[in-house]
Amino acid sequence: ETGVTQSPTHLIKTRGQQVTLRCSSQSGHNTVSWYQQALGQGPQFIFQYYREEENGRGNFPPRFSGLQFPNYSSELNVNALELDDSALYLCASRPGVTRSNEQFFGPGTRLTVL
C-alpha cells in the first residue's frame, strides 16, 4: 500500500469525448505527477503540480490538463479523446517539490478509447 488511490479503475470512452481521472495523494504530499503508460512501454511524464500550480510538463498537448486541490486530491482531464489516448494513467505523489524526493504511485486507471 502506497497511500495513493485512483479512480475509476477502468473506463471506456469514445473518440472525441472528454474524461476526468482522479487521484488522492498521501497526506502531506504536496507534489503530484501524472503519467501515461501505453501497452508495452514505460510511463511517460505528463505534468506535475505543486501547491495547486503546474510546475513541470512533458511532451503532451494542451488538451491534457490538470487540477490539484488543497485536500491532496488531483484530477487529470483529457479533452477530444483520440484512439492513441488508450493507456494506463498513473499518478504519483511525493512530499515536496525538491527534485530528490521519492515518489509513490497509485494503482492506475486503465482508459480505453473506442
Of 58, 73, 86, 95, the residue at the interface with other proteins (CB under 8 A) is 58
The region of 11-19, 21-29, 37-45, 65-73 touching other proteins under the rule CB under 8 A is 37-45
Which lies closer to other proteins via its Cβ, residue 81 or residue 92?
92
Task: Based on the shown chain and the rule CB under 8 A, indicate whether residue 41 belongs to the binding site for other proteins.
Answer: yes
Of 44, 65, 73, 86, the residue at the interface with other proteins (CB under 8 A) is 44
3-state secondary structure 22-88: EEECCCCCCEEEEEEECCCCCCEEEEEEECCEEEEECCCCCCEEEEECCCCEEEEEECCCCHHHCEE
